[in-house]
Amino acid sequence: MKTMQAALLLISLAGMVDLAAQESTQTRTAVFAGGCFWCIQPAFDKAPGVIKTVVGYCGGTEPNPTYELVTSEKTQYRESLEVTYDPAKISYEQLLDIYWKLIDPTQADGQFTDIGPSYRAAVFYSNEEEKKTAEGSKEKLARSDKFKKPIVTEILPTMKFYPAEAYHQKFYQQNPEHFEAFEEGSGRAAFQKKMWSETKP
Tens digit of each residue's pLDDT (9 = 90 or more) over 76-106: 999 999 999 999 999 999 999 999 999 999 9
Instruction: pLDDT band for 25, please (50, 70, 90 cuts).
Output: low
Q: Is 58 an annotated catalytic residue?
A: no
Helix (H, G, I), strand (E, B) or coil at 201: coil
pLDDT for position 16:
40
Catalytic residue, candidates 30, 31, 33, 36: 36
Cβ atoms of residues 64 and 75 within 8 Å: no
Considering only CA atoms, which of 38, 67, 35 is closest in space to residue 153? Answer: 35
C-alpha torsion sign, points 195, 122, 178, 95: positive
Tens digit of each residue's pLDDT (9 = 90 or more) over 154-178: 999 999 999 999 999 999 999 999 9
pLDDT for position 198:
62
- Range list of β-strands (E), the chain: 28-33, 50-58, 78-85, 110-111, 114-115, 122-125, 154-157, 162-163
Question: What residue segments make up the domains of the chain, in order of their start?
Answer: 27-196
Q: Between 3.40.50.300, 3.40.50.1370, 2.40.50.140, 3.30.1060.10, what CATH number should domain 27-196 receive?
A: 3.30.1060.10
Tens digit of each residue's pLDDT (9 = 90 or more) over 103-135: 999 999 999 999 999 999 999 999 999 999 999
Instruction: pLDDT band for 199, please (50, 70, 90 cuts).
Output: low
Helix (H, G, I), strand (E, B) or coil at 124: strand
Instruction: pLDDT band for 201, please (50, 70, 90 cuts).
Output: low
